[in-house]
């Protein structure tokens, strides 16, 4: 039977309308909530204005990116205290403009020597405490990271770089609504007398806009400066090291160890005295002419490289930005990458990671065959990259799945990046992991340890299984990008397991879809939890994914039709990104900051 012209026209109009909706989802809006911040000399982006100001202050005083990043993160530890601090762990990527080389700085914390799987089985019912109490902590890493950057690449002293943070802690700052709300709503801070003393002055939480001080933390930072000053006559290196050693081997370390032992923790003096952050070779891939770098050990960063290797086999521009096929293909690629994260990634001091195979084109081609263009996978499917390696050996461990409990796929982390006039670049992701970390202010130091210890597995033989002195495989990561061997981009984001999805979308928005840095940050986002969560009990939610409500309804319905268990979040809810881009033709800098949070960018 022949179709009537009116009916045919109706179908054409409906199809055209749907196509228009799809096109609007794929075409970046040229307007942004915040402007691109451009400059000729240097740029900073961070999660708080005060931290961006602190780094900018150092740059204007003649410091380089390494001096500035120490000042900025130290300030961030005061004003973004729920998400990071002096007790944080961290991962850092560095581009050394003089050497024209990228470095990884691993400042992940280590488990106490007394922390074993057997101890938790005997004393804690075979469970890890989740983001609460000293048993959830690892040794802080950021102070050693400060030292390594200042000593190897910096030009300034602890006295200069810590001055803004000391001022903020000692004299106070107008507290933000988010931090005030976090303090008021924290159940764990209220449990510990040492925390109540710092965060509930006069018995009440501070209100937004009030001046908040942490004089104990100021005194701790002043002790580092004092040790440096006392050893200044021995030369810059030894003075810097004296400051660092006072934290890890001096009276601060002894105070932390004594407090731990008196309050049921497993930390002892030797855990701090033996700690060291590590400078390592990064891992990287070439993605369509862009060299993308990640930290190699004890973090999830390489999983972004696994995902990009898969996506390079698709014409993403043709699929269209945030189209059904683009989001579906990206989500399915992330699932495969995170399956390999579970099986292979961990602390390289304890396990071997088969990067040769995992990052090979041959392995990506094999893994790509598992992506069904019409159906969402509900399984975790780790691969066998050793087949694509020249060297043999045993790689990877057991993978245990858990579908029970309420493990959190997100987390409380912060971020800061700096590019200086020499085009040194640093991306620094420090974290307490969950709001206020362990929740326990250590004695009179004013600082709280990260609670990254709840990331370990208690299953022997898994890549991330707990061992004394081992670093957990954290969710921390950042991205550093070169183009034709020249410094081009740094970016990062808080967000637990979601961090990789945020930085990858920002990167692809610029590289594949021609967005500027601010458009790339602000574009509507997607996420998935269809893999084991990093925190204990490592719950997996098969097939679950989320999109911001700005993703069109037609796209959402098509994703559901493919079998995705879709959740729709608020309009501006999935991101906390910061990024800096160096224009390869003009050398000019463009900095972006996420309007979803208090992030702030500046350039000059």
Q: Are strands 565-569 and 544-548 parallel, antiparallel or unpaired?
A: parallel
CA–CA dist 255, 445 (Å, integer): 8
Position 1 pLDDT exceeds 90: no
CA–CA dist 463, 457 (Å, integer): 8
Q: Under a CB-based contact definition with an 8 Å cutoff, are residues 45 and 52 in contact? A: yes
pLDDT on residue 4: 39
Please state the rounded mean pLDDT for residues 577-581: 98
State the pTM of this model: 0.94
CA–CA dist 499, 474 (Å, integer): 11
Position 490 pLDDT exceeds 50: yes
pLDDT on residue 11: 27
CA–CA dist 172, 170 (Å, integer): 6
Please state the rounded mean pLDDT for residues 284-307: 98
Position 26 pLDDT exceeds 60: no
pLDDT on residue 394: 74
166-217 pLDDT per residue, tens: 999 999 999 999 999 999 999 999 999 999 999 999 899 999 999 999 999 9
DSSP string, 331-388: HHHHHHHHHHHHHH-S-TTTS---HHHHT-HHHHHHHHTT--TTS---S-----GGGG
Cα dist from 318 to 274, 314, 323, 561, whole Å = 53, 9, 10, 21
CA–chain centroid gap for 432, Å, is: 11
Report the chain's mean pLDDT, rounded to a whole number.
Answer: 94
pLDDT on residue 407: 74
CA–CA dist 256, 249 (Å, integer): 11
3-state secondary structure 188-238: CHHHCHHHHHHHCHHHCCCCCCCEECCHHHHHHHHHHHHHHHHCHHHCHHH
Position 22 pLDDT exceeds 80: no
* Nearest one of 491, 507, 519 to 316, comparing CA atoms: 507
Instruction: State the DSSP H helix or E strand holding residue 559, giving kind and residue range, or none if neither.
Output: helix 553-561
550 CB contacts (<8 Å, ≥6 apart)? 524, 571
Cα dist from 28 to 22, 505, 597, whole Å = 12, 13, 21
pLDDT on residue 412: 77
Please state the rounded mean pLDDT for residues 71-81: 98
The percent of residues above 70 in pLDDT, for the chain, comes to 95
pLDDT on residue 411: 67
430-482 pLDDT per residue, tens: 999 999 999 999 999 999 999 999 999 999 999 999 999 999 999 999 999 99
pLDDT on residue 21: 37
Please state the rounded mean pLDDT for residues 150-158: 98
313 CB contacts (<8 Å, ≥6 apart)? 364, 365, 368
pLDDT on residue 24: 38
Please state the rounded mean pLDDT for residues 90-110: 98
CA–chain centroid gap for 217, Å, is: 24
Position 515 pLDDT exceeds 90: yes
pLDDT on residue 409: 61
355-401 pLDDT per residue, tens: 999 999 999 999 999 999 999 999 999 999 999 998 877 788 889 99
DSSP character at residue 313: T
3-state secondary structure 479-528: EEEEECCEEEEEEECCCHHHHHHHHHHHHHHHHCCCCCHHHHHHCCCEEE
* Nearest one of 50, 243, 72 to 143, comparing CA atoms: 243
Angle formed by the axes of helices 499-511 and 324-344, to 10°?
Answer: 130
- With cut-offs at 50, 70 and 90, classify the pLDDT of residue 20: very low
Burial of 320 from C-beta contacts in 10 A (0-12 / 13-18 / 19+):
middle
27-74 pLDDT per residue, tens: 445 789 999 999 999 999 999 999 999 999 999 999 999 999 999 999
């Amino acid at each position: 039977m022949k179709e009537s012209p009116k009916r045919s026209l109706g179908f054409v109009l409906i199809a055209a309308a749907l196509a228009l909706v799809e096109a609007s989802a794929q075409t970046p809006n040229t307007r942004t909530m915040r402007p691109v911040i451009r400059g000729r000399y240097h740029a900073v982006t961070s999660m708080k204005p005060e931290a961006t100001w602190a780094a900018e202050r150092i740059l204007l005083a003649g410091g380089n990116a390494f001096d500035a990043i120490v000042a900025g993160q130290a300030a961030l530890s005061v004003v973004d205290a729920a998400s990071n601090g002096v007790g944080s762990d961290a991962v850092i990527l560095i581009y050394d403009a003089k050497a024209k080389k990228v470095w990884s700085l691993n400042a992940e914390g280590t488990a106490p020597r007394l922390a074993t799987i057997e101890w938790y089985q005997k004393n804690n019912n075979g469970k890890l405490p989740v983001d609460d109490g000293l048993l959830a902590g690892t040794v802080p890493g950021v102070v050693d990271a400060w030292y390594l950057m200042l000593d190897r690449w910096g030009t300034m002293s602890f006295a200069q770089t810590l001055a803004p943070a000391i001022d903020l802690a000692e004299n106070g700052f107008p507290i933000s609504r988010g931090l005030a709300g976090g303090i008021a709503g924290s159940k764990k801070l209220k449990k510990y007398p040492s925390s109540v003393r710092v965060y509930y002055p006069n018995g009440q939480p501070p209100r937004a806009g009030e001046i908040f001080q942490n004089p104990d933390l100021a005194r701790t930072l002043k002790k580092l400066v004092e040790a440096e000053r006392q050893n200044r006559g021995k030369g810059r290196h030894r003075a810097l090291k004296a400051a660092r050693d006072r934290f890890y081997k001096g009276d601060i370390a002894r105070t932390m160890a004594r407090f731990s032992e008196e309050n049921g923790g497993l930390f002892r003096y030797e855990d701090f005295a033996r700690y060291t952050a590590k400078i390592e070779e990064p891992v990287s891939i070439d993605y369509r002419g862009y060299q993308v770098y990640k930290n190699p050990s004890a973090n999830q960063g390489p999983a972004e490289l696994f995902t990009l290797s898969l996506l390079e086999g698709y014409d993403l521009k043709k699929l269209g930005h945030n189209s059904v096929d683009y989001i579906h293909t990206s989500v399915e690629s992330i699932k495969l990458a995170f399956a390999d994260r579970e099986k292979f990634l961990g602390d390289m001091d304890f396990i071997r990671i088969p990067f040769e195979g995992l990052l090979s084109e041959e392995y990506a081609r094999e893994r790509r065959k598992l992506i069904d263009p019409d159906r969402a996978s509900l399984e975790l499917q780790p691969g066998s990259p050793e087949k694509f390696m020249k060297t043999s050996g045993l790689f990877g461990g057991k993978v245990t799945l858990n579908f029970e409990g309420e493990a959190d796929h997100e987390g409380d982390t912060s971020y800061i990046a700096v590019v200086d006039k020499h085009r040194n670049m640093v991306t620094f992701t420090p974290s307490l992991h969950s709001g206020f970390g362990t929740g326990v202010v250590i004695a009179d130091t004013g600082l709280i340890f990260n609670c990254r210890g709840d990331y370990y597995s208690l299953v022997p033989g898994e890549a991330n299984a707990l061992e004394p002195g081992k670093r957990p495989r954290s969710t921390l990561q950042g991205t550093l990008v070169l183009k034709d061997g020249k410094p081009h981009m740094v970016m990062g984001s808080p967000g637990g397991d979601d961090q990789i999805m945020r930085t990858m979308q920002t990167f692809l928005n610029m590289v594949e879809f021609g967005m500027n840095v601010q458009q790339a940050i602000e574009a509507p986002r997607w996420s998935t939890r269809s893999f084991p969560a990093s925190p204990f009990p490592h719950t997996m939610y098969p097939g679950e994914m989320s999109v911001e409500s700005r993703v069109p309804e037609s796209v959402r319905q098509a994703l559901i039709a493919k079998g995705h268990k879709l959740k729709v979040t608020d309009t501006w809810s999935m991101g906390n990104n910061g990024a800096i881009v160096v224009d390869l033709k003009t050398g000019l800098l463009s900095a972006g900051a996420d309007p979803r949070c208090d992030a702030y960018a500046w350039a000059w």
